[in-house]
Amino acid sequence: MTRQITAADLERAISGHQIEPAFQPLIRLDEDTTVGYEVLARWTDPVFGPVSPIDFIAIAEEHSLIGKLTRQIIAKACQHATSLDRNATLAFNLSPVQLRNATLFNDVSGAIAKAGVPFERVVIEITESALIDDESLALATIRKFKQAGFGIALDDFGTGFSSLTRLHSFPFDKLKIDASFVRTMETDPGSRKIVAAVVGLGQSLGMSVVAEGVETAAQLFILKRLGCDIGQGYLLGRPMPAAQLVDHSLYPPGKMPSRRGVISPLIKLHQLETIYQGAPIALAFLDTAGRYVSANDRYARVIGEERTCLIGQSAADAFAEGRRAVVARIARRILAGRPVIEREVVNRRTNRSYVLSCSRIVDDGGDVLGLSISLIDVTRRKLAEAALRADEEHFRLAIEVSPNVAWAARTTGEVYYMSPALSGGAHVAVEDRISNWYERMHAEDRVRVRQEWLATISDGTSFQTEFRILWSDDRWRWVRSEAVLAPGADGKAHRWFGVMTDITARRALEEQVDRLQNRVGNSADEILQLFRL
């Protein structure tokens, strides 16, 4: 530009319809869908080229051209609304100067009605500074828009002079967080806290919250984590001329996003407090100085203090004076990002056992907020483990002193356990017991027993056989070996469990009976032979 734009230049541009609307998408962050557009004014002069809105809007306000310009932009934008989804909103900015005009509502609503666009699809955006000059007139005008069905948004929130009283008094539907806070969220903890506070404030008052100036993926991630409703910025979509709206699909054909319920921070607070207090474990949170910020009743009972008395105390004070420095050092290590500590501790006062876990809490920017402590009561588990170990020891000793041989094999047939009775005592390693038991079997029985075993594991039936084996006292004994398939938790067979029983005495008795039967049988034959003679 070689010279300043004048009011005459602007008036000529308005009359010549050189100023056109541009449409910047408004993206609903929880579903990544476009819900509307903010309409912006763009002027490309045939002589001067592109003219910044900062320049020509100021001239329009100063020379009473802002009303004519606004009506023209609204009319043009509404003409293109027919190419948009019928649920897409159009947001228009109104100047603070315009709010002083008592005919503003009639001018704006008339232009929109003439274009045939329902008022419910239009959002009027007003900056905080517009509310200062004549608050009563501004409130009356805004209420007219609200009663007619328009949506009302407070633009650039955080940079003006709005009090909570004004925010509560005016019928706003949306809060728009100023882009300056959004752009510095990644590097400035203060900006992150302001954005989080505005999101919470708006939602607590039943308003949707729009974040302006979203330009990076990190900013978008933080906003989603904070629960911000809508995003706007170059990352999500640049302002586009009306000709590109046809190619900018709002929703997939025939599909509209479901409107999920917005949970305000107040509801979230009570929800988390209920979860916190109802948790089956002891929970507490410490700030970076090691002081209790919150604790549930279960934690207070473990510590032996009233919960209300814990808040504000140093966690190190609960330990003996000689241990406080150690506790403080451990806390500093965790806050510095060292590995999370998890260990078993015993409350000497109650003689109960707990698993203690400490984790540092950081926000989306990496700033440390404090320490989270959890204590899980494992007393019953410890007692059960002790009882189980005692049972296992009893079972192990019972097997070791048993005259029978317990054994176990995998479903494929490999033996992986053999009790010590066969090998001469528990001092013999399990591996050695397994490796030599088959060699101890009588050579005449090995092939037969091997075939019987392979046949059994192939069809999954119970196993039973008898054979001779060299016992630990170097004497041959007859044994009966029996086994069944044991199912696992999934109901499928996981292993064979078996036992070898010494049947040497039984076999000897059976052989004696056979011999006696043979002798009796022979004597009877001799007597019958004599009678025949």
pLDDT in tens, 270-280: 788 888 888 88
- State residue 251's pLDDT score: 44
Q: Other C-beta atoms within 10 Å of 253: how many? A: 5
Nearest 5°: phi and psi at 190?
Answer: -60, -40
461 token code pair: 């039936």
> Which residues are CB-contacts of 349 (< 8 A; sequence separation ≥ 6)?
304
- State residue 235's pLDDT score: 93
**With contact defined as beta carbons under 8 Å apart, do 117 and 87 qualify?**
no
> Which residues are CB-contacts of 498 (< 8 A; sequence separation ≥ 6)?
406, 407, 408, 409, 463, 481, 482, 483, 484
Paired with 38 in beta bridges are 24, 91
- State residue 514's pLDDT score: 80
- State residue 500's pLDDT score: 92
| Per-residue b or e along 25-41, where b marks 16 or more CB atoms closer than 10 Å to that residue's CB | bbbbbeeebbbbbbbbb
- State residue 523's pLDDT score: 61
Q: Give the predicted TM-score (pTM) of the model.
A: 0.63
117 exposure class (CB count in 10 Å sphere: 0-12, 13-18, 19+): buried
Q: Can you point out the beta strands (E) in 398-504?
A: 405-410, 415-418, 463-470, 476-487, 493-502
Nearest alpha-carbon partner for 199 in 172, 160, 227, 166 = 227
- Helix and strand tally (H, E) in the chain? 17, 20
336 exposure class (CB count in 10 Å sphere: 0-12, 13-18, 19+): exposed
Mean pLDDT, 10 residues at a time, the chain of 533 residues: 77 93 93 92 89 91 92 92 83 89 91 91 86 78 94 83 73 92 91 90 89 94 91 94 69 43 67 85 90 90 86 78 70 79 81 88 83 90 87 78 88 89 77 84 93 90 92 91 86 88 90 79 59 54
Nearest 5°: phi and psi at 473?
Answer: -90, 15
> In angstroms, rounded to a whole number, what is the distance separating the alpha carbons of residues 112 and 107?
9
528 token code pair: 């019958």
- List the catalytic residue out of 38, 125, 128, 212: 212
The residue assigned the tokens 């549930």 is 296
> In angstroms, rounded to a whole number, what is the distance separating the alpha carbons of residues 278 and 311?
19
- State residue 82's pLDDT score: 74
What DSSP assignment string belongs to 128-172?
Answer: GGGGTTTHHHHHHHHHHHHHHT-EEEEEEETSS---HHHHHHS--
- Alpha helices of 336-465 — where are they, by DSSP H? 379-401, 430-440, 443-459
Nearest alpha-carbon partner for 96 in 158, 13, 155 = 155
What angle do helix axes 135-148 and 104-115 make, rounded to 10 degrees? 20
> In angstroms, rounded to a whole number, what is the distance separating the alpha carbons of residues 291 and 285?
8
- Alpha helices of 291-376 — where are they, by DSSP H? 297-303, 307-310, 321-335
191 token code pair: 């900006």
Give the domains, in start order, of the chain with CATH numbers. 7-250 (3.20.20.450), 269-377 (3.30.450.20), 382-502 (3.30.450.20)
Nearest alpha-carbon partner for 463 in 508, 429, 497 = 497
Q: Is 31 a catalytic residue?
A: no
Query: What is the length of the chain?
Result: 533
The conformation of residue 319, written as its DSSP 8-state character, comes to S
Nearest 5°: phi and psi at 184?
Answer: -105, 10
343 exposure class (CB count in 10 Å sphere: 0-12, 13-18, 19+): exposed
Cα angle 191-193-195, degrees, rounded to a multiple of 5: 70
